[in-house]
Amino acid sequence: MIQKKICMLGAFAVGKTSFVKQYVTGIFSEKYHTTVGVKIDKKMVEIDGQPITLILWDLHGEDEFQKIRASYLRGSSGYLLVVDGTRQKTIAVVEDLHRMAQEILGEVPFVLVINKADLSEQWEIQKDAAERFRARGWMVIEGSAKTGEGVEQAFSQLTKSMVDD
Amino acid sequence: MIDDRSLLTGLIEALHVLVLQRMKDSQSFRLIGSIPEWFRMFTGTPHVTEAEVQVYLQRPFLEHFLTEAHEFWDTHTFGQLASGLWAEQGQDGHDVQFEADAVAKDGVKLLLIQRVGSGNFGLQAVLQTARESGLQHHHALSEHKQVQQVLGGKLEQSERLRDDLVMILDRLQIGTIMTDEEGRVTFLSRVAQELLSMTEQAVAGQPWSDIQAFSESDTLSLQKMLLRAINERLKVPVMLELGKGRRVSLEIDVQEDPRNTQRTIFFLYDVTEVQGLRGLLTEKSRFFDLVGKSSVMTEVYRRIQDIAPVDATVLIQGETGTGKELVARALHQAGPRKDGPFIAVNCAGLTDSLLGSQLFGHKRGAFTGASHDHQGFFEAANTGTLFLDEIGDMPLSIQTTLLRVLQEKEITRLGESHPRKVDVRVVTATHQNLEELVKTREFRSDLLYRVRVARLYLPALRDRREDISLLAEIFFGQSRTATKKFDVQEISTEAMQALIKYRWPGNVRELRSALDYALIHCRGSTLQPSDLPPECLTHSDVLTLMGIHSGLDEKGQIFAALKRAKGKRAEAARLLGMSRSTLYRRLESLGLPSKG
Ligand SMILES: Nc1nc2c(ncn2[C@@H]2O[C@H](COP(=O)(O)OP(=O)(O)OP(=O)(O)O)[C@@H](O)[C@H]2O)c(=O)[nH]1
Ligand SMILES: [Mg+2]
């Protein structure tokens, strides 16, 4: 059985845990329960008829209290960068985390998720943000852990490019 | 009496830690103690076997941490590496949170895994509050954005953020020191003040490196860490000695102030308790400040543990330099009086009246020169321990008073008539044979019976040679710091052999000064036999040292030594292990010029 490790990276409260939970169990909760440390989940998927176990490393949000330990990233086949559309500042955080991931992992596939699409009228980030990242060659998905929009898609796109890699 | 092994297993059980020892093959682990209850719950198996523990180690997070841990164990003999917290879903569908530590100590490699219970949710709760308020702040901010920006409220906001941050750090029990661009302290948080036992006023505006609580070597390590790039910095372990035997172990994280990278923020984490517990789990070679893992010393530790809880007077016997005062301190620290004072008095070399007034105090005018009322050591040691060293040298008149004090538990200051109650435990020590002194009537027999209610014998260093290398390493480290000779990396095997062979009439104290001497003399990166004080070397050591065949006659040896010392007589004498005058005498008797 092939196992692939995926890390969830982003600022605090952007919806990393919610995104994984939606993907693994189909459940969403409004209640915010911050992650301390790492939370490990598994999900079995099939890509082109091939079964793969995804080991999902949901890391705590990066902020002034908790910095991501570089060693957590080691061995990842890919990662999701998550930003919160309603908070402009969360973009700078993923830019930093992306640089860190590149240093440790080299060029492995990643997907940028702009989360909380259900709150798009409250979005702080520019409407063309997604376009600008795509122009840099990034895979970008606007989605919502609440409605489930883009969740499957984000993980399956990532997994596909990990397998093709 | 406490049995070490049951203490250890009891402790492991009480802490609910899964303790595994890495085996020699570096692959497998052996279970130490029992399997904690949480493990059964988590894996959903009622009868857990060691095989299941091995399977557990292959779960993703642990497997990942173990690669790091193996690297750490392979490169460290001492220290510890923490995994950080992680959570996994247990058999019952609930998330369970864990933390693991790789510990290395004297070649023993341990993996400690703990389930982090609600205790840690203190941290969780604080981070939760911090982040929630961060979110709220954000929402409030985005509503009032224009106004805020126009009013340039930025400054106020960052001040408030700082206050919030400090409040949170205080709640996390993390101390904070902030400095300006020149390294002068601008802020010392409440927790930092407590940890360092000092007020903010005492250090504000001073360079942080002047903070008294940090030892010179700790300050140096912190300075070195500051020179590193920010992402290469590690926490610096620091040991604070705060007087009265109080010790605090800290880990200090040196960070830049995000608002101005020229300024520094020190985060102080108190790890005393963790270290203490880890120490209990892994350390057998130290007991308070006593060092050694020989069976004789282990027996001493056991005796101390037996004697410490009772209030009986103790007599510690042992040659000079064996560390009798350290034993007295350990007795104090391990007993119920540990929060009271510990006062040490050397009875040797003081006249009757001086010692009397020192011990029992005096009233103003009690004798010429007594210009004030004076409290004696007995009163000063009230509720604590009074250590009377060299009791064999105590004058007879004082012995009589001491005997009465021990019986009545009260003292009378010189020149006063009313007695005062004192609550003091008396610990005495001597290098002499008190029974002999009783025979020659220099020591009162009734006092002897009184002071040796509990007896403790400290072995001479030559009777516990297996501890010499450990002690030597420790003193080496201390002298190196004291002499700032950080280039000297280690003690050579030959020098260590010489240290182990020597008789050590001055015991541990002599060993300590031998290492001080050696460090001062050492020129290279390794401490060599030739750096040791000459008395530590046997004659044949000296000869081998000089590459001289020991078959050489005396004249030949002296020639060789002179040659090696490039004609310097003092140096040649040192090499030969003789005094300069002896060498001159030999030279003359051999008809060689002693000068020039
Ligand atoms: N409206 C909406 N809320 C969301 C969405 N995703 C997450 N949230 C909410 O945002 C808050 C934070 O979600 P989490 O999933 O805990 O965020 P996180 O990134 O894991 O946070 P940390 O673990 O603290 O780093 C919660 O209150 C969620 O209910 C979303 O798509 N839409
Ligand atoms: Mg989370």
| Ligand 1 midpoint to CA A90 (Å) | 13
CATH number at A58 reads: 3.40.50.300
Class of domain B542-589: mainly alpha
- CATH architecture observed for domain B17-118: 2-Layer Sandwich (3.30)
Considering every ligand atom, which ligand is closest to the CA of A63?
1
Closest ligand 1 atom to Cα of A117: 31
Inter-chain contact A124–B124, Cβ cutoff 8 Å? no
Q: What is the CATH number of domain B173-275?
A: 3.30.450.20
DSSP secondary structure code for residue A87 in this structure: -
* pLDDT tens-digit series, residues B37-59: 888 888 888 788 888 888 888 88
Residue in B99, B138, B258 nearest the CB of A87: B138
Owning domain of residue A152: 2-164
Q: State which residue of chain B sits closest to A70, comparing Cα positions.
A: B231
**Cβ contact B125:B118 at 8 Å:** no
Instruction: State the distance between the two ends of chain B, measured CA to CA, in whole angstroms.
Output: 67
Pick A36's closest partner by Cβ from B68, B85, B138.
B85
Q: How many domains does chain A have?
A: 1
Q: Name, of A96-100, A110-114, B45-49, B482-486, the range with top average pLDDT.
A: A110-114
pLDDT for position B46: 78
Task: Give which of B192, B245, B193, B236 is closest to B217, Cα–Cα.
Answer: B236
Across the interface, whether the CB atoms of B85 and A37 are under 8 A apart is answered yes
B90 Cα: distance to centroid of ligand 1 (angstroms)? 23
- Closest-CA residue of B relative to A61 is B131
Domain boundaries, chain B: 17-118, 173-275, 285-459, 462-537, 542-589
Which percentage of chain B shows pLDDT scores above 70? 83
**Which chain A residues contact residue B90 at CB under 8 A?**
none
Mean pLDDT, residues B243-250: 73
Largest CA distance in chain A: 44
At residue B275 the predicted structure's pLDDT band, cuts being 50, 70 and 90, is: low
Domains B173-275 and B462-537 fall in the same CATH topology: no
Which of ligand 1's atoms lies nearest the C-alpha of A115? 31
CA B48 to chain centre: 39
Pocket test for ligand 1, best of A21, A32, A149 (most atoms within 8 A of CB): A32
Q: Which residue has the higher pLDDT, B407 or B91?
A: B407
> Which residue lies with its CA nearest to atom 29 of ligand 1?
A30
Q: Name the region of B276 (left: φ>0; alpha: ψ -120 to 50; beta: rest).
A: alpha
Among B128, B132, B165, the residue with its CB nearest the CB of A64 is B165
Question: How many residues are present in chain B?
Answer: 596
What pLDDT is attached to residue B547? Answer: 58
**DSSP, res B233:** -
**Which residue among B130, B132, B258 sits closest to A32, beta carbon to beta carbon?**
B132
Supply the pTM of this predicted model: 0.46
Write the pLDDT tens digit of every residue in B467-485.
998 899 888 888 887 787 8
Tell me which residue has its CA closest to atom 2 in ligand 1. A116
**Cβ within 8 Å, pair B168-A65:** yes
Residue B67's pLDDT is what? 92
Rg (CA), chain A: 15
pLDDT surpasses 90 at B525:
no
What residue in A sits closest to B66 (Cα-Cα)? A71
User: Which ligand sits nearest to residue A15's alpha carbon?
Assistant: 1
3-state secondary structure B343-383: EEEECCCCCHHHHHHHHHCECCCCCCCCCCCECCHHHHCCC
For residue A11, the ligand closest to its alpha carbon is 1
Classify domain B462-537 at the CATH topology level: Helicase, Ruva Protein; domain 3 (1.10.8)
Q: Which of B277, B297, B236 shows the shortest CA–CA distance to B110?
A: B277
Point out which residues pair with B225 in neighbouring strands.
none
pLDDT score, position B43 = 83
Token pair of A7 as six digits = 């890390």
Q: Which residues line ligand 1 (CB under 6 A)?
A: A 10, 12-18, 29-30, 32-35, 60-61, 115-116, 118-119, 144-146; B 131
CA proximity to B189, closest of B246, B251, B199: B199
Residues of chain A in contact with residue B99, where contact means CB-CB under 8 angstroms, are: 37
Q: Do A65 and B127 touch (CB under 8 A)?
A: yes
Domain B285-459 has CATH 3.40.309.10: no
When mean pLDDT is compared across A22-26, A82-86, B31-35, B562-566, the lowest value belongs to B562-566
**Which amino acid is located at B254 in the chain?**
V
| Residue nearest atom 13 of ligand 1, based on CA coordinates | A15
Report CA(B259)–ligand 2 centroid distance (Å): 27
Q: How far is the CA of A114 from the centre of ligand 1 (A)?
A: 12
pLDDT for the residue B422: 95
- Pick the ligand that lies closest to the CA of residue B134: 1
Closest C-alpha among B211, B180, B210 to residue B195 = B211
Task: State the nearest Cα–Cα gap between A140 and chain B, in angstroms.
Answer: 24
* pLDDT interval class at B348 (50, 70, 90): confident
| Whether residue B413 has pLDDT greater than 80 | yes
Interface ipTM > 0.85: yes
